Chain A
Amino acid sequence: MQLTLRIGVFSACLLPFAWLVYAIATNALGPDPAEAVMHVTGEWSLRMLALTLLISPLRQWSGWAPWMKLRRMLGLYAFFYACLHLFTFLQLFIGWTPARILEELVERPYITAGFAAWLMLLPLALTSTRGMQRRMRRRWLQLHRLIYPTAVAACLHLLWQARSDIGEALVYIAIFALLLGWRLRRYQRKRRPAIAA
């Protein structure tokens, strides 16, 4: 049952990527694939990030521990789509000129925010193995709290590039606000009895 669930989720998360590869191969993305690929990879990175953050609340509400087994996979998928997103940006939008890349990073706040999000996901992906988790113990938990600023940076990345319609950005901001708000409330609840005692 659990294995089926994991295989199912793994395959489902791979579908957008499979579709992209198919669409690129068959030239089905229209005259400007750069924009389409940017959009799809960015959007799925955000969605995977939101799903990763949904696992803890889901476990608490359902009381079903196996949800936790999906968390690493979803987090790695968020990183995977973020990498594709970054690669597409370099390959199709600005090219691999270091000076140009640096200029984009420094001068455009939404690029800075997006890159910061990717940079924060990097150590999380590198330390995502069970071995690392064991070795780092408490520090692993502390390090992986980086996912919260990552979510904030990702939202800013989206909001700061909205041009005339901020609807989509607001939807994601609302989702992440709920997910982070739930943690904040849980944190406050945990602390209260301690203070009383």
Chain B
Amino acid sequence: MPKRFSIPEIASSEITPEAVYLDRRQFMRGVGVAAVPALAGLATGAHAAPTTGGAALDFAAAAPGQEGFYTDETRTPLDDVAAYCNFYEFGTDKGDPARHAHEMTVDPWSIEVSGEVNKPGKLNLEDILSGFDLEERIYRLRCVEAWSMVVPWVGFPLADLLNRFEPTGKARYVEFRTLYRKAEMRGTRSFTSIIDWPYREGLRMDEAMNPLAILSVGMYGKTLPNQNGAPVRLVVPWKYGFKSIKSIVSIRLTEKQPKTSWEMLAASEYGFYANVNPEVDHPRWSQATERRLPSTFFQPNRIPTRMFNGYEEQVAHMYSDMDLSRYY
């Protein structure tokens, strides 16, 4: 007897993996959005809501106080924060991270903590999310390119994590590294990029232990979109944005000052400290003012930049004996 029904056999190789399938939908959506702007040589895709992150988080809300953890300035809308950012691993256009960062796998994830610590080891994402008390911090973010935002982050003090690994007496600096995964980060495959991947950043130990310095796992109460540095990023609000390194996979405590990516690229333009300072210009542009985003063509929203991005009270003491025009 011939079988009347049979389950069609589909080789597993013929089944479209979910990631590719999702990718295709992403692509089709992208085509529609990009068609008109492409005409003018520009794709903004500016107003799309982020497609990654957005999972609920438990945290304590920010409150006004001396610590600088809160500001009542107008917050930059979530969609703008997610649409407009620098994450060169996905391309150098501000819209590139929003377009391509979904290609990055953020779960599973772990951070390796090494160097001058008594208990080196690995922290898995689950340990990070469940092992620290999350709190909200509403910070100003000032990019070295003279634009700024106000973002409600969710995270925990960097000091909490460092203390858990017990820094030795020799630990004077902290070096951070971003994930470097060529297959998922198209910007790192650019032949003309002159960045030596992985992206690296660093802080002095006292800066790292300052209560303002946090590791963020979310913003606007939900987990971070990939382009904003999921699953874990640094936020140091008194320094230019590039110091707030994204998607961290390694934290190493060192005795010597670590090399940072932008410093390696152009030491005359980007210093190790990179504290927001309206009096010390970037060689190619002034840092005296900033465009607070969102801005419009007719109302650029240009405001004066503040010393240490307005966190002078909390951080100035760390630099009291330093010539800030030399250690920029």
Nearest CB of chain A from residue B144's CB, rounded to whole Å:
10
Q: Are B41 and A167 in contact (CB under 8 A)?
A: no
Q: Interface range on chain B: under 10, 10 to 19, 20 to 34, or 35 or more?
A: 35 or more
Flag whether A98 is at the interface (Cβ < 8 A). Answer: no
Q: How far is the CB of B318 from chain A (nearest CB, A)?
A: 28
Assuming the A-B contacts A108-B285, A165-B194, are A31 and B293 also in contact, with contact meaning beta carbons closer than 8 angstroms in the complex? Answer: yes
Q: Is the CB of A92 within 8 A of B194?
A: no
Q: How far is the CB of B237 from chain A (nearest CB, A)?
A: 19
Contact B84 A31 (CB under 8 A): yes
A-B contact pairs, 27 of them (CB 8 A): A16-B39, A20-B40, A23-B40, A23-B44, A27-B296, A28-B37, A28-B44, A29-B297, A30-B80, A30-B94, A31-B46, A31-B84, A31-B149, A32-B147, A33-B295, A33-B296, A39-B42, A40-B40, A40-B41, A44-B41, A92-B291, A92-B295, A92-B297, A107-B281, A108-B285, A165-B193, A167-B190
Cβ–Cβ contact A30 & B95, under 8 A: yes
Most buried by B among A28, A36, A104: A36
**Residue B158 at the chain A interface, CB threshold 8 Å:** no
B76 to chain A, nearest CB (A): 7
Listed residue (A20, A40, A161, A165) with the most chain B CB atoms within 10 angstroms of its CB: A165
Any B CB within 8 A of the CB of A187: no
Alpha-carbon gap, A35 to B194, bound state (A): 22
> B36 — nearest CB in chain A belongs to which residue?
A19
Give the residue among B42, B95, B295, B297 with the most A Cβ atoms within 10 A.
B297
B217 to chain A, nearest CB (A): 23
Q: Known contacts A32-B94, A165-B190, A166-B194: does B37 contact A110 (CB below 8 Å)?
A: no
Indicate whether A91 reaches chain B with its CB closer than 8 angstroms. yes
Q: B47 contacts A28, CB within 8 Å?
A: yes
A161 to B192, CA, bound (A): 15
**Within the complex, which residue of B46, B195, B265 is in contact with A28, where a contact is CB–CB below 8 Å?**
B46
Residues facing B in A44-81 (CB within 8 A) are: 44, 47
Report if A15-B83 is in contact (Cβ < 8 Å); known contacts: A165-B192, A167-B192. Answer: no
State whether the Cβ of B302 lies closer than 8 Å to any Cβ in chain A: yes
A184 within 8 A of B: no
Chain A 137-148 per-residue mask, 1 if CB under 8 angstroms from chain B, else 0? 000000000000
Which 3 pairs of residues, A with B, have the shortest CB-CB distance? A30-B46, A167-B192, A31-B294
Q: Which residues of A contact B (CB under 8 A)?
A: 15-16, 19-20, 23-24, 27-37, 39-40, 43-44, 47, 91-95, 100, 103-104, 107-108, 110, 160-161, 163-167, 170
A30 to B286: give the CA distance in the assembly, Å: 23
A161's closest neighbor in chain B, by CB?
A: B284
Residue pair B300, A91 in contact (C-beta under 8 Å): yes
Q: Which residues of A contact B286 (CB under 8 A)?
A: 94, 100, 103-104
B5 interface contact, C-beta 8 A: no
A33 CB to closest chain B CB (Å) equals 5
Judged by DSSP, the binding face of A is helix
Determine whether the beta carbon of B284 is less than 8 Å from that of A19: no
Q: Which residues of B contact A161 (CB under 8 A)?
A: 284
Contact B47 A30 (CB under 8 A): yes
Flag if A35 contacts B94 (CB, 8 Å).
yes
Select which of A15, A27, A93, A94 is within 8 A of B39 by beta carbon: A15
Residue B109, interface by CB 8 Å: no
The listed residue (B41, B88, B291) touching A32 by CB distance below 8 A is B291
Q: Which residues of A contact B146 (CB under 8 A)?
A: 93
Q: Which of chain B's residues have a CB closer than 8 A to the CB of A47?
A: 41
Q: Mark B145-172, 1 if CB is under 8 A from A, else 0.
A: 0110100000000000000000000000
User: A16 touches which one: B41, B77, B92 (CB < 8 A)?
Assistant: B41
User: Can you name the residue of chain B whose Cβ is closest to the Cβ of A108?
Assistant: B284
Complex: how many Å from CA A47 to CA B42? 14
- Contacts A31-B84, A39-B42 known; list 8 others, CB within 8 Å: A29-B44, A30-B294, A31-B77, A32-B94, A34-B147, A40-B40, A94-B286, A107-B281
| CA of A57 to CA of B193, assembled, Å | 33
